[in-house]
Amino acid sequence: MARLVWKRLRPEDLAAFREYLDGLGPRERPVYGLLGVRASWWTRLGGFARPLVVLFRGGRIVVSKRSWRGGRAVWRREYPAAGLQRVAIRRGPLLESARLWFEDAYSVRVAILPRHQSKPMERFLQEGAGALDPSLLTPEQLTNTYLACRAMGLGVLGPRSPGDRSSTAPAGESSG
């Protein structure tokens, strides 16, 4: 998980991902994504944590806890984008975590995020959907969005070559 979070796509792969996002319709377009782990007391005591994906997509927010094996969904919740009530960010020297509160009083904390990944979510509450425009995202934020899309099983970018094992990995990223 850690090696995925710290990856950075090459500039040409980021440009291709931006083009891919621009080509999608508004209902299916993933706008912003976070890939981290669900923080809990168990993880703080040394227990393992499962990957957690938060994806802003087509006017809704999808929160999904994934399994380590196969990456399938263990559980999933969907909310309208307007259902996000509050975001609190805890920043550390290298990592940060974001706690999201939704309209039904459900909250989730996404931890082990690289620094500044949650800034667009803070701006989203103040500025609306325009804050998540892919052209405004830094390369690191766009990379994390790409990784969140891959973790959710969304086909992002086409195959590189016929012999490639990963049909969604751009040229700058290894699949294993």
Q: How high is the mean pLDDT of the chain?
A: 77
Is residue 156 domain-resident? no
Is residue 48 domain-resident? yes
Is residue 174 domain-resident? no
CA 55, CA 148: separation in Å to the nearest integer? 7
Q: Residue 44's domain is classified under what CATH number?
A: 2.30.29.30
Identify the weakest region by mean pLDDT among 40-44, 58-62, 76-80: 40-44
pLDDT band, residue 40 (cuts 50/70/90): low
Is residue 158 domain-resident? no
* Domain hosting residue 97, numbered range: 2-151
Q: Is 148 helix (H, G, I), strand (E, B) or coil?
A: helix
Which of 156, 165, 151 is CA-nearest to residue 72? 151
> Which residues, 6 or more positions from 10, have their beta carbon under 8 angstroms from its beta carbon?
170, 171, 172
pLDDT the model gives residue 101? 93
**pLDDT, tens digit (0-9, with 9 covering 90-100), for 104-121:** 989 988 888 887 888 888
**pLDDT, tens digit (0-9, with 9 covering 90-100), for 56-70:** 888 899 999 887 776
Q: Read off the DSSP letter of residue 168.
A: S
Q: Is 139 helix (H, G, I), strand (E, B) or coil?
A: helix
Is residue 100 domain-resident? yes
What's the number of domains the chain is made of?
Answer: 1
Is residue 113 domain-resident? yes
pTM of the model: 0.76
Is residue 173 domain-resident? no
Order across the sheet with 95-102: list the strands: 73-80, 60-66, 51-57, 30-38, 107-114, 95-102, 84-91
Is residue 79 domain-resident? yes
